[in-house]
Chains A and B, each alone.
Chain A
Amino acid sequence: MRHIISILIENEAGALSRVAGLFSARGYNIESLTVAPTEDPTLSRMTLVTRGTDEIIEQITKQLNKLIDVVKLIDLAEATHVERELMLVKVRTCKESREEINRLSEIFRGKIIDVTSNSYVIEMTGPSDKLDAFVAALDENSIIETVRSGPTGLSRGEKGLHL
């Protein structure tokens, strides 16, 4: 099953490689990983998407907690949560296709953030499957490049992951 593990970690050099190293050393897979400092600059928040049986996920969370730099973590998938991913897509455009791509982007609530005579960069956020759907809806040959942040998320309700 897919799990989204949200980690508060000391914002120190090497902290990211401790997490990445743990996953490779123990043979766990990482589907995606995003990390950035929080409002408290001494802390980073990492969102990690992985898959595994309940036993493996239990080991992953225990092993992560064992890392000295990890302050706290939760598995967002254990309760209701919201998740969003950011994607930027650069598409090739021509006179005939510009309007259609624009309309498609609007349907998916995307934003065109860069325009040249023959390309657009579209910004889009949403759950990962929505981004997948948008990419599928585009003409495959028109895509120049895409970049995705990997999902990040918060639990629903007033509770949160903080010190």
Chain B
Amino acid sequence: MELSGGQIVIQCLKDEGVEYLFGYPGGAVLHLYDAIFHQEDVKHILVRHEQAATHAADAYARATGKPGVVLVTSGPGATNAVTGIATAYMDSIPMVVISGQVPSAVIGSDAFQEVDMVGITRPCVKHNFLVKDVNDIAETMKKAFYIATTGRPGPVVIDIPKDITDPNILIPYKYPKKIKMRSYSPATKGHPGQIKKAIELLLAAQRPVIYSGGGVILGEASEELRELTRSLNFPITQTLMGLGAYPATDKQSIGMLGMHGTYEANLAMHESDVILAIGVRFDDRVTGKLAEFCPHSTIIHIDIDPASISKTVKVAVPIVGEVKIVLNQMLALLKEQKTKPSKKALEAWWSRIEQWRSVNCLEFDRGCEFIKPQAVIEQLYEVTKGDAFITSDVGQHQMFAAQFYPFDKPRRWINSGGLGTMGFGLPAAIGVKLAHPDADVACVTGEASIQMCIQELSTALQYKTPIKIINLNNRYMGMVRQWQEFSYESRYSHSYMDTIPDFVKLAEAYGHVGIRVEKPEDVKPALEKAFALKDRTVFIDIMTDRTENVYPMIESGKGHQEMTLRVAPGTPINRELA
């Protein structure tokens, strides 16, 4: 089969089994778009801004485990995609981004719409390529998908100059079935000696905690994590990125840890003697002050990326490998063991944890005359029966969603954890809805975040992706305002907007349904109405309490044991206090 470079790129996507291509055309990719025009297997989703293409593709990957694929033009098309590429990079999301480049002959001449995309993206991709010969396209595409999806996943950029996709140059096409790279061979099995050491430590632990993260979801190891956690009867805390790998409604789950984690999770970490860290990276939002992080604990760390191990926190037993394989190795070894974890010690440990849990650290003022954002998320959980895909933007609403929507399944909670990208939620919801057309998909957002990619309401209409936008509208950039309240004596410097659009009219202008909610009792009926409108995107603009804060909170520079709670432990919460 003889094909042009442009046709080869699209044919490679077909051969790779790509279902959706998120993109935006432009001069440097016109040959590619012409190739797209002549086929129907790879469905192109035309976004309204390239950043949204990357977020939608990224969320598609998060919701399915398959790589997200993006096509943008050179220059501004490419630079607009960078935020989304960095977002995927920080959260290790498999993604392949194809960017057009000016013709080879003019590269370096400051040509129209020229940027050095390979240079710009180098620090925020797993790898990138500049294709210099039409004969290299197929192999480069294969390499890109291989690199993006194996080992610790991540985004890969392929920059293709326009002349390489010339429709007049035809060459024989063959997509390589397999690729081997001498410089890239990700780890698989964990070292048996290290696993043995880990099991010995776990069985001897008096106050163990399992601390699991996004790696478990990326590594499809939720089943193994559940089996291991249950067989040991250990408490488990999950990171923001890991929510759903272990069911949050299970009694062994002690909630999220870190800056806005639960009292019981953070204190359990602080008091623990053995930590089993699985697919996590000891992020600063998790550890708090490093010098005070888990002072009594021996740490076992399972990760596919050796560079994640002992990067910030020194660990005693590093295990490099695929989390699914390593957990299976551990489970097999555990079954052979005659000794069991000390029942007595675990009972004592659990009773301490239950004491911390009884503080009920997430409780909020339920009698308030204003709509509490936490109550909205609780009702969203009820209306969707806890089974929706929830995307979020970044800020207070993100933390409320993480705290108040207990995820029982992996890949249901889709948020920008590492980079913290405002504007992620709406395009992400579109990507998720395309992947799971029959599922309920809600975007939990705020009036500031949603405006960063609001134009994608148009994309949602074009591709009939009926999503529900839950806009927690407090007329503030809530998280910025909260930090200003705590650390800047309530000097609210530019954390509010004097003008906010009428979101109901805006939704209607984009062809969707808009609902405004101003009273607590109207929240649930509005949510029910929205989710009943199966084939419509609904924008629910909910006026929430302006001054609500996210608690608990570990303020920056403090340790897990120094959490700020809404009220001191043991004090009943009432309206006066809140």
Contacts and interface: CB of A to CB of B under 8 A. Distances in A.
B122 A68 contact: no
A65 interface: yes
A13 B130 contact: yes
Given A21-B122, A68-B147, A14 B307 contact: no
Interface stretch (A56-64, A80-88, A95-103): A56-64
Given A10-B183, A18-B122, A163-B182, A68 B127 contact: yes
A61 B314 CA distance: 16
A59 B311 contact: yes
B37 interface: no
Interface string B100-137: 00000000000000000011001100110010000000
B310 interface: yes
Interface string A110-133: 000000000000000000000000
B99 to A, nearest CB: 15
A68 B130 contact: no
Contacts of B127: 68
A75 interface: no
Interface string B179-196: 001111000000000000
B118 A14 contact: yes
Interface string B296-320: 0000000001110111001000000
B183 A70 contact: yes
Given A10-B183, A13-B130, A66 B119 contact: no
Contacts of A89: none
B126 A68 contact: yes
B466 to A, nearest CB: 40
Interface in A37-80: 55, 58-59, 62-63, 65-66, 68-71
Nearest to B156: A68
A160 B184 CA distance: 20
B568 to A, nearest CB: 39
A136 interface: no
**Size class of the A contact interface (CB-based, 8 Å):** 20 to 34
Interface string B148-192: 000000000000000000000000000000000111100000000
Contacts of B118: 14
B130 A14 contact: yes
A17 interface: yes
Contacts of A55: 310, 314
A71 B182 contact: yes
A58 B126 CA distance: 20
Contacts of B311: 59
A10 B181 CA distance: 11
A16 to B, nearest CB: 12
A74 to B, nearest CB: 15
B418 to A, nearest CB: 15
B96 to A, nearest CB: 14
A10 B127 CA distance: 13
A147 interface: no
A65 B126 CA distance: 12
A69 B569 CA distance: 54
Contacts of A14: 118, 122, 130
B566 to A, nearest CB: 38
Contact of A62 (B119, B147, B182, B307): B307
Contacts of A68: 126-127, 147, 181, 183-184
Nearest to B311: A59
Contacts of B314: 55
Contacts of A58: 310
B236 to A, nearest CB: 28
Nearest to B151: A66
Interface string A1-43: 0000000011001100110010001000000000000000000
Contacts of A59: 307, 311
Contact of B183 (A21, A62, A71): A71
Contacts of A163: 182
A55 B309 CA distance: 11
B122 A17 contact: yes
Nearest to A25: B123
A69 B123 CA distance: 14
A17 B181 CA distance: 20
A21 B126 CA distance: 13
A110 B260 CA distance: 65
Nearest to A60: B307
Interface of B: 118-119, 122-123, 126-127, 130, 147, 181-184, 305-307, 309-311, 314
27 contacts: A10-B183, A13-B130, A14-B118, A14-B130, A17-B119, A17-B122, A18-B122, A21-B122, A21-B123, A55-B310, A55-B314, A59-B311, A62-B306, A63-B307, A65-B306, A65-B307, A66-B305, A66-B306, A66-B307, A68-B127, A68-B181, A68-B183, A68-B184, A69-B183, A71-B182, A71-B183, A163-B182
Interface of A: 9-10, 13-14, 17-18, 21, 25, 55, 58-59, 62-63, 65-66, 68-71, 163
